[in-house]
Amino acid sequence: MAAAARKYLAQLLAVATGETLSDFTIETWVAEWLRRKSRDSSKATMARYDGHRHKRRQRRQ
């Protein structure tokens, strides 16, 4: 059901805007979010965010 809804939304987006719907994993979404945040955030804030991401990655291993 969710896959069908996603496919339908992707088709709507393509017809309406010509864009494709991104298919993120959690890790790639966080990386993209951090990239966007880096434009508006201080270096200290980005270091803190990145530190949390690395801690999370280490826990999974």
Q: What is the pLDDT of residue 16?
A: 97
Instruction: Describe the crossing of helices 43-60 and 26-37 by its angle, rounded to 10 degrees.
Output: 170
pLDDT digits (tens, 9 = 90+) for 22-37: 888 888 888 898 899 9
C-alpha distance across the termini of the chain, in Å = 32
Q: What is the pLDDT of residue 14?
A: 96
Q: Domain coordinates of the chain in residue numbers?
A: 22-61
pLDDT digits (tens, 9 = 90+) for 37-48: 999 999 999 888
